[in-house]
Structure formats: structure tokens, C-alpha cells
Amino acid sequence: MRKKLADIIVTAEAGGGAVKVTANANREILDVSIDKSKLDWDDLEQVQDLVLTAVNNALEKAMVKEQAETQKLLTQMMPPGMSGLFGQ
């Protein structure tokens, strides 16, 4: 399952694309890219906030993908006629 989740990639941005974070459905951050031309580097607090926002958004997207994939796997594992037990 972890290998399958590692192959599901999500991306989140903040600051109009100034900060982009890529993660996988294992909720691991894979990459952080920053377009320095879109940021005011004199406002370090803003830069930090944008990075945090992008990271948190990427992790949230990863969690949603992880939950969907886990639910799908559980449904596939259930014997026929039993899928309704988990609200499906």
C-alpha cells in the first residue's frame, strides 16, 4: 500500500505560484520550488507564510488521496455483499 501511495503525486501552490510544493500520498514532501522573482525577499515573514501554506495544502491534498485510496482498497478486499458495512 505504501508503495502505491508513494506513486500518487500532488502539488500545491501559494502566492500565485511563487511557492510550489510536491508531495505524495504517503504525506512525504518531495520537492519545494520557489520562484524568487515573485517574492519580496525583504519580507521574510511573508516568504515563510507562503512556504507553510503551500506545504500544508500539499499535505492536505495528500491526505485526501491517501484516504480515497485506502477506502478503495478496503472495498476491494470486502467479500461480495459486505461493502455496505463501511458506508459504501
Of 62, 42, 53, the residue nearest 16 (C-alpha): 53
For the chain, the domains span 2-76
pLDDT band at residue 74 under the 50/70/90 scheme: confident
pLDDT of res. 33: 97
CA–CA separation, 12 vs 72, rounded Å? 24
pLDDT digits (tens, 9 = 90+) for 27-64: 999 999 999 999 999 999 999 999 999 999 999 999 99
Residue pair 14/33 in contact by the 8 Å Cβ criterion: no
Instruction: Report whether pLDDT(13) > 80.
Output: yes
CATH topology of domain 2-76: Ybab; Chain: A; (3.30.1310)
pLDDT band at residue 1 under the 50/70/90 scheme: confident
